Structure 1
Amino acid sequence: MKKLLFFCLFILYLPAAAVAQTIVTGKVYHAQSQQAIAGAVVRANTGETTQTTSDGRYQLTVSAEALYFVISHVGFVPDTVAILKDQRIEYMTPLQPQQNMLREVQVQGYETNRPLLQTAGAISILDSEVIQRTDESSLVRAVNTVPGVRMDERAPASYRISIRGSTLRSPYGIRNVKLYFNGIPLTEANGTTALNLLDAASIGSIEILKGPTASVYGAGTGGTVLLEPKRATVGTELQAGATIGSYGYQKYRAAASIGSAKSNVLVQYTHQQYDGYREQSALDRKVLLISPEFYISDKQTINSHIIYSDLYYELPGGLTLEQYNENPRQARGGEFGSVKQNASMNQESINIGLKQEYKFTDNWSNTTAVYTSHRFRDHPFNTDYERNANQEYGVRSSLEYNTTIGSVGARYIFGGEFQHGFEAARTYDNNSSAVGALRTDDEVTAKTGFVFGQAEFELPADFILTTALSLNDTQYEIIRLAQATSGNYTYTKDFDAVLSPRIALLKRLTNQLSAHASISSGFSPPTEEEILTSNGSLNTALEPEKGTNYELGIRGYSLQNRLSFDVVSFYFRLNETIVSRQDASSVAVFRNVGSTSQKGIETALSYTFVDAPEDWLSLFKVWGSYTYNHFRFKDYTIYREAQQKEIDLSGNHLTGVAPHSATVGIDAATNFGLYLNAIANYVDDIPLNDENTAYADKYLVIGTKAGIRRSIAKQLQLDVFAGVDNLTDEKYSLGNDMNAFGGRFYQPAPDRNYYTGISLKYSLQ
């Protein structure tokens, strides 16, 4: 692995090898406005491919047999250009806009690699433009535009993701949602995900798959998130940017990239600081991303990533309603107050991944990825002091076979994934932020894996049938080396292997409309932190969640493709549901309850009033999403000591889930480079405990960002912007602590705050 790292860095200094006899160069521009078109795909008939740079230019080395190349870009009519042999000329190619062209997006979800209109499942896509609608301080605002999905930030860099109510068992951190980065598992073998090791500026795009996806992505009942890193474009570019804002917010970014038809490498460094809106809520994060990709041949592509992260953030703690109303900027006080105990997280980590895609023949191909990660944590908490080191490695591989059975196209995928994690974890007394006496010393080994198979059939009458099955297994081994009260022991928990099937059917109604239906089964074992709680006790009775999801959806385009829509309804019945409650020392204790019934509707709409790059108002689009959740507990009772009796909570609203939520946004731009993004997010009352006796108030938060993007000369692009979050100065809690002891439910979000920034991109010729 070290040799590979050195090779990736060394390749930065190597010129692209000339492996063909003809070099074609040119420029692509808008036929009406004459403006350069960046990102246009240039593909020779012999397979060589490149993209245009920010100034519309390209250079492509092709074989002597190449006769022509095709230039294409979303929203434009493709053009075919004949190659003039033995003539060193620059091909100037105008592309005609095509307003009525269907703008289909390719998705990776479920390993289909199909257009979204041909993919059966509830999938939402966030591209780079969506992520850049805000200041990129985090992914929270972008993710919360997706129906059925909610991302919380209990403190800066303390993230939690809920897909269809999956935060029920997540008092902190990300659980029951599987995350991948560059097609490689980011979720660890122990079931948790350290999303905060990434910077939002490192993400190129996001796909969110909702509901059980166990057939392809292993155990899980919440959903799957596919993160793609930023990649270099063709040519050589240098980038730099800076953003400053309220409450000491500062962010700096520097990047360099080299891209050609055979390889590209992006190196990016970001540094983000924040003093915090509340007491004890500062942040300091440094992230280095190295993202190389090599096109070895028409058959083989290798890409990789190296992420180094140095993260420090503080934890202000939850407030009671009285404290929240009195002063939302205060931190948790008292004997175990956050300031007194210096509740905070120091985390240093490195994640290295390598993925190869190899095409053996026109029918057979393989994708294999390997990774390793190392993480070190120093974590003074309100009630203890934790220090741990984690080492992990894993592999994922899939084999694809394409064929036809009579007149039916068929595609088979077989594969598997294995992860191994080892953690050395120690807890101590926290004596006013100083390490005290040793409480526990544990060695935890986590092993998880699955094998899967999937078949797709392109049936007559434009039906696509998908069937899939996976076999999942998880095991934990906990070795207690020291504990003052109980002594040493070894505990092994090996969950039974579980089969998880999925069947989906899609009907292409027209070229612009499709409907889909699916039935899938989910299986989610407890995480290591749910079995081995932070007070050192073992939760040996905890069992995996299991559930079945039924789904119907329709998506498409109409009104000359100005209107796009995506509507999904679902019913999910989850058994052995895992819930959490805090004890007096703020330790989360987990247990299985009977079941939950989760019904909902998720809707996303977008209407483009203007899409005319040649006009002064070049873009005006209104978009929005709406989510309705009818989530209820079933067969759920708790014992209340004060009354010495059991209380039936069946029929109560699911904790942490708002019945209604909606987002509305406006995107506008001019051909001069001026742009405006505005987002309004509404969230209904949220139940904060299983008894439904405490609620977080509904809120409406508005944010705007405006700026100007201009090309200076031919090589320099400038982006100057400013924005405001919480424009209406709403008082609300983002990232509530569910079932918190003593009513400490509330994690106040910042009031009205501002930011401004500048970004420069210089293209070298």
Structure 2
Amino acid sequence: MKHILLILLTSLLVNGLHAQQTASDDTAKALQPVIVKAYEQNRQLKEVSGAINFIGKSQLERFNNTSLLPALNTTPGVHMEERSPGSFRLNVRGSTIRSPFGVRNVKVYWNGIPFTDPGGSTYLNQLSYYNVNSIEVIKGPAGSLYGAGTGGAVLINSQPDQWTKGVDVGYLYGSYNLHNLHAQVRVGSEENRNTFGYTHQTSDGYRDHTNMRRDVATWETRLKINNRQTLQASVLYGDLYYETPGGLTLTEYNNNPRGARPNADALQTAIYQKTFLAGLTHTYQLTDRLDNSSVVYGAFSLIRNPTFRNYEKRSEPHFGGRTLFNWLHDLNGTQLKVSWGAEAQRGFFNTKTFQNKQGRPDTLLTDDDIDSWIYSLFTQASLRFPGDWNVDAGISFNKSSITITRLSVPSFVPVKRTYSNEWAPRLAVSKKIIPELLLYASVAKGFSPPTTQEVLPSTSVISTGLNAEQGVNYEAGIKSSWLQQRLYVEVNAFIYRLQNAIVLRRDSSNADYFVNAGSTKQRGIESQAYYQLIPGRKGFISNARLWVSHTYSHFRYKDFKQGATDFSRKQLPSVAPHTLTAGLDVSTRPGLYANLTWYYSDPIALNDANTVIASSYQLSGGRIGWRTRLCKGIAADIFAGADNLFDVRYSLGNDINAAANRYYNTAAGANYFGGINLQFITAR
């Protein structure tokens, strides 16, 4: 089936190209250029020698304005999962293999502030949809500039390129009693701006025991000190609650997919999570050739988690900073850019586990202080030669440490593990064969030490014997634009060899623990194409775009033995061999618009032995709406839509290597939404 659909989509694209090749320049409408900041390039995406996915505002607005998940899942090599409303996992080239929940093995920045804590975990669910204006996903090892993480890095920006004073308010209602209320106020001027935002979201969820509530308040300000200096502040407070229904067996999944695991209600299993983050960024143009950007931040998270096994309380204060210098020099047509800097983070965490007595903490089991820190020194040189040759070379030195003191055990000797001398180099070379065709190749080494929650998992057994992952990624690709910039095509292929891969396992009580899985060999091809369908200059349709993305992942254990069991050459669980996404976006001059999306996933292995496989599935959805100006200074977007339109049963966010065969977390069936956004714009 997937091959037939792929042929149909390809035929549609080719026929569209043939039909439009006779269009005149007067009727041609080019795709808008995309500028990315990854690797300090600040260049068009089609000119950057790396595998980078860009998700802009137009892609985010194709769906229901409550989650980043559907927009991220339209891009190749990236798959976001939701085990229950509010519980997200982010898979970048297989990185969820070591993540029972949350985001690990991927370094995340929000407005240039490290959003990943020094323990290696990222509470991406503390950001609301409205805290994001654009996302850049760097796939593969990015440690030459962004520190630990063999999966990659994610750069999130909350501010639009063009800032205007005004007020935005919006409300959405959807299936399963979904409510989403948003308000944003922008005051000041271009040189001294303030943005205040608040989002409130609630939902009963598709399954039993999946209620959720999220409140996020932000303040962002930017002050231009003089022509050379600016000061920016980003402050975020998030209060999140969601119930955790637990995984289902195949029998439970087939008989009652909306059910929760037995005792979920009795034990009141849930996550209560509060996070406060404040960051201050100073940019300084020291000379015409030299500039600096420095950020300092502090953050504090409180988590309470009654589970099926115990009751956990975590207190996680941490702080850190990052500084980056850029120096530019032109010499006889050759441009040299040198970047260098440092990043450091430290956390003083405390984790207590208790017996769970009907959702309340009972007898103390363990009480651990966790001191974690990590730092990175990095440098990078980028050369732009005449003849459209580009060479980028970077390297970082990284060191991290974790010390655990079990306060609940008298005279306990602190346990410490240091991961040192981790070098992460990257070399990339690109050449424009013709003006609109870029060929590139790169090699990069990555590393990723165990996170705090992997060294101290839900078994409460201290696992400082875990080793850091290390791997080398070889990659080559093309980026090209054709037909007066109306067609953009990107294809990349990679081979990634990972040593000491950290893999999730579960004991008989379904508690998480982690092991080093020897080596893996991960091969893949990622491709995407966008085609701007061109109407007449005075036609009813003002804009139409057809797009498709495909991911092929041949991920295998190369050498992995657990006791007498040999998993070598088995497929890595949690990764579909093929995923395919396609869509059509149409807008009209009166303001009517439609966004249609189709998604396909191959079957997915759910355990290391590949004896349990989740079925393939296809999803269809769409959004229609009307964007119009109600009067001077007031614009409206009235919309409605549907997800999983044909009510397909599938599991999103499977529990890998689950005990008692509880692998399945049923995703929502057919669901619908509708809402309105109002924008009040005041004069500058």
TM range (shorter): over 0.9
Query: How far apart are residue 610 of structure 1 and its match?
Result: 2.3
Q: Does the alignment pair 1:670 with 2:599?
A: no
CA deviations over 1:517-563 (Å, ceiling 9, x no partner): 10000111011111112222111321001100000011121022221
- Alpha-carbon contact 1:606-1:621 (below 8 Å) kept: yes
Q: 1:702 aligns with which of 592, 616, 620?
A: 620
Aligned pairs for 1:569-584 (under 5 A) are: 569-584=493-508
Specify the code of the residue in structure 2 equivalent to 1:610: I
- Alpha-carbon contact 2:466-2:515 (below 8 Å) kept: yes
Closer/same/farther in 2, CA of residues 407 and 620 from structure 1, 3 Å limit: closer
Partner of 2:441: 517
Aligned pairs for 1:304-319 (under 5 A) are: 304-319=233-248
- Alpha-carbon contact 1:576-1:592 (below 8 Å) kept: yes
Aligned pairs for 1:216-231 (under 5 A) are: 216-231=145-160
Query: How far apart are residue 235 of structure 1 and its match?
Result: 4.0
Supply the distance in 2 between the matched residues of 1:676 and 1:100 (Cα, whole angstroms).
Answer: 19
- Alpha-carbon contact 1:348-1:375 (below 8 Å) kept: yes
SS of equivalent to 1:518: strand
Specify the code of the residue in structure 2 equivalent to 1:758: I
Partner of 2:304: 378
Which moves more between the two structures, 299-308 or 437-446? 299-308
Query: How far apart are residue 100 of structure 1 and its match?
Result: 6.0
Closer/same/farther in 2, CA of residues 763 and 232 from structure 1, 3 Å limit: farther
Partner of 2:135: 206
Supply the distance in 2 between the matched residues of 1:723 and 1:656 (Cα, whole angstroms).
Answer: 29
Query: How far apart are residue 687 of structure 1 and its match?
Result: 0.2
- Alpha-carbon contact 1:571-1:597 (below 8 Å) kept: yes
Specify the code of the residue in structure 2 equivalent to 1:692: N
Q: 1:252 aligns with which of 173, 177, 181?
A: 181
Query: How far apart are residue 512 of structure 1 and its match?
Result: 2.0
- Alpha-carbon contact 2:28-2:534 (below 8 Å) kept: no
Q: 2:633 aligns with which of 696, 703, 715?
A: 715
Which moves more between the two structures, 421-430 or 400-409? 400-409
Partner of 1:403: 329
Partner of 1:428: 354
Closer/same/farther in 2, CA of residues 314 and 611 from structure 1, 3 Å limit: farther
Partner of 2:457: 533
Which runs of no fewer than 5 residues in structure 1 stay unpaired?
Answer: 1-95, 640-645
Aligned pairs for 1:121-136 (under 5 A) are: 121-136=50-65
Q: Does the alignment pair 1:163 with 2:61?
A: no
- Alpha-carbon contact 1:370-1:396 (below 8 Å) kept: yes
SS of equivalent to 1:323: helix
Partner of 2:209: 280
CA deviations over 1:696-734 (Å, ceiling 9, x no partner): 100001111101010012111011100111001100000
Closer/same/farther in 2, CA of residues 260 and 97 from structure 1, 3 Å limit: farther
Q: 1:688 aligns with which of 580, 596, 606?
A: 606
Q: Does the alignment pair 1:738 with 2:662?
A: no
Specify the code of the residue in structure 1 equivalent to 2:373: K
SS of equivalent to 1:717: strand
Which moves more between the two structures, 750-759 or 302-311? 302-311
SS of equivalent to 1:257: strand
Specify the code of the residue in structure 2 equivalent to 1:428: F
CA deviations over 1:212-268 (Å, ceiling 9, x no partner): 001000111101010001349544211111000111100001111125331222111
Q: 1:497 aligns with which of 421, 424, 445?
A: 421
CA deviations over 1:408-437 (Å, ceiling 9, x no partner): 211101101000111121110001212110
Query: How far apart are residue 509 of structure 1 and its match?
Result: 2.6
- Alpha-carbon contact 2:458-2:513 (below 8 Å) kept: no
Q: Does the alignment pair 1:508 with 2:428?
A: no
Q: Does the alignment pair 1:459 with 2:377?
A: no
CA deviations over 1:21-75 (Å, ceiling 9, x no partner): xxxxxxxxxxxxxxxxxxxxxxxxxxxxxxxxxxxxxxxxxxxxxxxxxxxxxxx
Aligned pairs for 1:41-56 (under 5 A) are: none
Q: State the structure with bigger RCO (CA 8 A, min sep 6), 1 or 2.
A: 2
Query: How far apart are residue 301 of structure 1 and its match?
Result: 2.2
Closer/same/farther in 2, CA of residues 588 and 234 from structure 1, 3 Å limit: closer
SS of equivalent to 1:318: coil
Q: 1:559 aligns with which of 457, 479, 483?
A: 483
Partner of 1:52: none
Supply the distance in 2 between the matched residues of 1:255 and 1:613 (Cα, whole angstroms).
Answer: 35
How many residues are aligned here?
A: 659
SS of equivalent to 1:732: coil
Specify the code of the residue in structure 2 equivalent to 1:181: W
Partner of 1:607: 531
Partner of 1:41: none
Query: How far apart are residue 678 of structure 1 and its match?
Result: 0.9
CA deviations over 1:55-99 (Å, ceiling 9, x no partner): xxxxxxxxxxxxxxxxxxxxxxxxxxxxxxxxxxxxxxxxx9894
Query: How far apart are residue 614 of structure 1 and its match?
Result: 4.5
- Alpha-carbon contact 2:164-2:190 (below 8 Å) kept: no
- Alpha-carbon contact 1:207-1:227 (below 8 Å) kept: yes
Specify the code of the residue in structure 1 equivalent to 2:432: R
Partner of 1:271: 200
Supply the distance in 1 between the matched residues of 2:390 and 2:528 (Cα, whole angstroms).
Answer: 23
- Alpha-carbon contact 1:232-1:264 (below 8 Å) kept: no
Partner of 2:642: 724
- Alpha-carbon contact 1:441-1:480 (below 8 Å) kept: yes
- Alpha-carbon contact 2:573-2:607 (below 8 Å) kept: yes
Aligned pairs for 1:344-359 (under 5 A) are: 344-359=270-285
Closer/same/farther in 2, CA of residues 98 and 492 from structure 1, 3 Å limit: farther
Aligned pairs for 1:358-377 (under 5 A) are: 358-377=284-303
Supply the distance in 1 between the matched residues of 2:70 and 2:31 (Cα, whole angstroms).
Answer: 28
Which runs of no fewer than 5 residues in structure 2 stay unpaired?
Answer: 1-24
Q: 2:78 aligns with which of 133, 149, 156?
A: 149
Supply the distance in 2 between the matched residues of 1:613 and 1:242 (Cα, whole angstroms).
Answer: 34
Specify the code of the residue in structure 2 equivalent to 1:344: A
